[in-house]
Amino acid sequence: MTEKAKNIVILISGAGSNMAALIRAAEEENWEASLGARVVAVISNKPGAEGLALAQALGVPTQVLDHKGFESRAAFDAALQTLIDAHQPALVVLAGFMRILTPDFVEHYAGLMVNVHPSLLPAFTGLNTHQRAIDAGCSEAGATVHLVTADLDHGQILAQAVVPVLPDDSASTLAARVLAQEHLMYPQAIKDFLRKLKPA
């Protein structure tokens, strides 16, 4: 790869299913040839995250930076930033990364960090989105890919996927249906974003 490669770093905290969908899409659709882009690293803040083994099985190097080893959120974010920047990223992808990021960290990657959130933003920012959608009597739910800003779940919307809320839905059944759409939408949204991104 040349210096102008669009390197992608993915951050996870758990099972990494969206991460895996992204890595598989990048491989199957040959993003390296068509977009000059590749996933160069998966980083987790949890040593036991299931997604680490999954990423390794898919051929992507992994790193762990345990947030419990830091005295403050700012100290962790500063160390994480150093780790990420070593990969010269063109894009930082949050895929189930369960950390609220500091404004300095977010500013450092302004316009180059994306997240997928399991609701139709601006509705239901934060946690427990599926149960909240059911409790509110929504007929539709879904997921949103957005740019990350210091204001939680409020960045520019890049893509959305809509699913119906069924009469017998529980939070878990709705979550499963939304997640299936995330696995389709997130890689496509990132591919579209990369097409517009100038080489680093």
Size (the chain), residues = 200
22-31 long-range contacts (CB < 8 A, ≥24 apart) are: 22/93, 22/95, 22/186, 22/187, 22/190, 23/55, 23/58, 23/59, 23/60, 24/58, 25/187, 25/188, 25/191, 26/187, 27/58, 27/59, 29/191, 31/191, 31/194
Q: Is 117 annotated as catalytic?
A: yes
Which among 87, 108, 117, 146 is annotated as catalytic? 117
Residue 131: HSE in the Cβ half-sphere, 13 Å Cα cutoff? 4
Please confirm whether the linkage preceding 122 is cis (ω < 30° from 0): yes
Q: Which residues are catalytic?
A: 117
